[in-house]
Amino acid sequence: MNNSLLEMSGITKQFLGVYALQDAYLMLKGGEVHALLGENGAGKSTLMKVLGGIYSLDEGSISIDGLEVKINSVKDAKHFGISIIHQEIVLVPYLSIAENIFLGREPLKKSGFIDKKRMFQNAQKLLDDFGMELSASTLVDNLTVAQQQMIEIIKAVSFNSKIIIMDEPTSSLTEKEVRFLFRTIKSLKEQGVGIVYISHRMNELFEITDRITVMRDGKYIGTVTTKDTSNDQLISMMVGRELSKYYIKDSSNSEESILKVNQLTKQGVIKNASFELKKGEILGFSGLVGAGRSELMKCIFGLESFEKGEIIVNGQKVVIRNPNDAIQNKIAYVTENRKEEGLFLSQSVQYNITIKVLHEFMRFFKVNSKYENKETNQYIKGLSIKTTGVEQEVKHLSGGNQQKVLISRWLATKPQVLILDEPTRGVDVGAKAEIYSIMNKLAKDGVSIIMVSSDLPEVINMSDRVAVMCKGEIKAILNKDQFSQETIMHYATGGQ
């Protein structure tokens, strides 16, 4: 093909005898946005880390502008004009924006000392060019996650790279910032920059990309032109089979109130939040990042304190000062940060599932491992957790299976209210569908579910009702016949 900017072919990479990449292929043209699509563990990030010089390749070749190159280090990659915007934010918290942007390539004075003045001026110019209303001397620690993400993007762009890799760049951006990013991408495209765009959000791929390469199990599956493909085709390429039904949700029409929150207020975070949760329903919580959804859930679960308001469970007013009180009231909370706040990553599947209910297996002073095993296996089977056994360390599981382990832990406490905060974040398509069916089954069994989610299609398809929050307030509670992407976004951005 003509004007190939980058060609990676026959790329193979093993970790401890396991193939992470096997004969992977990618061809990027100048001035195109090329999506790399695949489930978690399909090898997208590994392929990009090979390109970025973080991993060395075992076999295969990389050509840039038709010339074969060797990339052995981050420095090499930069030399060839390759920049990566990583999925996790990799900025140094206690350095300023300017210092972060120029980290590793600080402008020097003749004396060999850093030319701070030039560095700050250049950084400020970049910020201004991008319309960021920030001073270059602001510490990164003081920025919001979305702002940090924008700094990452600015940093990558400032290298004048020929090839920019964006790994889930929008995962923590607000809609406005996503628009902004897309404008930036378009202007980079016009300058002939090739962009590799990794995202799980299908609608974004259809909006911004020109071609899509699909990977599965470390292998190249195929490349399609975006305007000639469909959602279904991509999903079946990713999964390798047809997914019969993605969102599975039977509607609920119970009127029995399980949980009621009245006028809950937390200074500066939540304002007069009131809502009611009915038996066996899924109540979606939508809103932009920072709207106070997680904070409200943390208040209900006793992780954060609040000044005003009451919580009513089964018609009785209850006092919840800490998570233990919440558990006593049969409330469970599955955190959005499963690695930081949820799982004990170096412990076994069993350890993670039974930690909250160990008392049930106690015989005198010791844990009866037979009962514990039985219980664990029940969840492994019931939620189809893919693991080598109860003793496997959780950190070796995929994101979806980790999430199922965490959900199992809370199901073991037999909750009547299950709060799921971003239940499918960082979870691949196949596991997503499984989690949806688990949620549907739980709801049918009478568990009331609160689902906080930033994934609009998920909110719309899985919820019986949707509460939309904006700046700490519940702006609207919509019934099934009322919700669409437009109405939800309308309330989420502060509309009345």
Partner 1 sequence: MSNIVVKENKNTNLRFNLGYSIIRFFRENIGIIIGFIVLCIVISIVNSNFLTTNNILNVLRQSSTNLYLALAMTMIIILGGIDLSVGSIIALVGVVATSSIALLGLPVYLGIIAGLLVGVLVGLLNGYVIATTVIPPFIVTLATMNIARGAAYVLSDGKPIRVMSMSFNNIGSGYIGGVLPTPVLFLIVILIICYLIMNKTKLGRYMYAVGGNAEAAKFSGISIKKVQLFAYTFSGLMAAVAGIVLASRMFSGQPTAGEGAELDAIAAVVLGGTSMSGGKGKIGGTVIGALIIGVLSNGLNLMGISSFWQYIIKGIVILVAVYTDVIKKKKS
Interacting residues toward partner 1 by CB under 8 A: 52, 54, 73-75, 78, 84, 86, 88, 90-95, 99-100, 103-104, 106, 108, 112-114, 116-117, 120-121, 124, 127-131, 133-135, 137-138, 183-184, 187
Strand 67-69 to strand 59-64: parallel, antiparallel, or no bridges (unpaired)?
antiparallel
Strands (E), 75-193: 82-85, 163-167
Considering beta carbons, is residue 137 or 322 the nearer one to partner 1?
137
The minimum distance between CB 150 and partner 1, in angstroms, equals 12
Q: At closest approach, how far in Å is the CB of 187 from partner 1? A: 7
Decide whether 120 or 379 has the Cβ nearer to partner 1.
120
Is the Cβ of residue 269 or residue 357 nearer to partner 1 in the bound state?
Answer: 269
Q: Nearer Cβ to partner 1, position 94 or 364?
A: 94
Contact present, 56 and 100 (Cβ < 8 Å): no
CB closer to partner 1 out of 102 and 436 = 102
Q: Give me the least distance between CB of 97 and partner 1, in Å please.
A: 11
Max alpha carbon distance in the chain (Å)? Answer: 76
Angle at 472 between CA 494 and CA 459, to 5 degrees: 70
Q: Answer for the pair 151, 91: CB distance below 8 angstroms, yes or no.
A: yes
Query: Cβ neighbours of residue 482 under 8 Å, at least 6 residues apart?
Result: none
From the CB of 79, what's the least distance to partner 1, in Å?
10
Q: How far is CA 493 from the centre of its chain?
A: 21
Which residue, chain included where needed, has tokens 């800490």?
322
Give DSSP secondary structure letters for 316-385: EEE---SHHHHHHTTEEEE-S-IIIII--TTSBHHHHHHTTSGGGGEETTEE-HHHHHHHHHHHHHHTT-
Q: Nearest Cα to 207, choosing from 191, 227, 193, 189?
A: 227
> Residue 108 or residue 355: which is nearer to partner 1 going by CB?
108
For the CB of residue 20, give the shortest distance to partner 1 in the complex, in Å.
19
C-alpha span between 87 and 69 (Å, rounded): 25
For residue 120, the minimal CB distance to partner 1 (Å) is: 6
- What span, in angstroms and rounded, lies between the C-alpha atoms of 388 and 397? 9
CB of 127 to partner 1, least distance (A): 7
CB of 131 to partner 1, least distance (A): 4
Return the number of the residue (97 or 468) whose C-beta is nearest partner 1.
97
120 vs 491 by CB, closer to partner 1: 120
d(CA 390, CA 66): 50
- Name the 3-class secondary structure at 495: coil
**191 vs 328, beta carbon nearer partner 1:** 191
- Contact, 385 vs 404, CB < 8 A? yes
- Return the number of the residue (139 or 248) whose C-beta is nearest partner 1: 139
Tell me 34's DSSP state.
Answer: E
Q: Which of 258, 263, 407, 413 lies closest to 324, judged by CA?
A: 413
Among 376, 384, 379, CA closest to 435: 384
End-to-end CA distance of the chain: 53
| CB 58 to partner 1: min, Å | 21
Please state the closest distance from residue 95 (CB atom) to partner 1, in A: 5
> Which residue type, as a one-letter code, is found at position 394?
V
Task: Identify whether the C-beta of residue 36 lies closer than 8 Å to the C-beta of residue 48.
Answer: yes
Q: How far is the CB of 172 from partner 1 (least distance, A)?
A: 16
Q: Which is nearer to partner 1, 99 or 434 (CB)?
A: 99
